[in-house]
Amino acid sequence: LEFIEKLKTRAGHRMTPCLVISGADEEAAITSSYEAGALDFIHKPFMPSDLARTVREVLDRPVVRS
């Protein structure tokens, strides 16, 4: 999460889409991932097809500039 937070502070990377892949399934871990700037949270273990679908969906989302 620290990496995402640092990435989002850099001017050229504020809009870089980030995913978190983790074995944690506590609500606090998921919430803190989104608060750090992740666009999606993928639980381990996962199917490669699920990861590919999630990446496609994230990349297809419209970019919202703040």
- Give the Cα separation of 62 and 26 in Å (integer): 29
Show the tokens assigned to 22.
């983790």
**Helix or strand (DSSP H, E) at 20:** strand 19-22
Taking 70 as the threshold, does the pLDDT of residue 66 lie above it? no
What's residue 63's pLDDT?
Answer: 72
What's residue 11's pLDDT?
Answer: 87
All residues at 6 or more sequence positions from 5 whose CB lies less than 8 Å from its CB, including other chains: 36, 37
pLDDT digits (tens, 9 = 90+) for 12-62: 888 899 999 999 989 999 999 999 999 999 999 999 999 999 999 999 988
Confidence of residue 64 (pLDDT cuts 50, 70, 90): low
- Give the Cα separation of 58 and 66 in Å (integer): 18
Taking 60 as the threshold, does the pLDDT of residue 65 lie above it? no
Whether the upstream peptide bond of residue 45 has omega within 30° of 0, thus cis, is yes
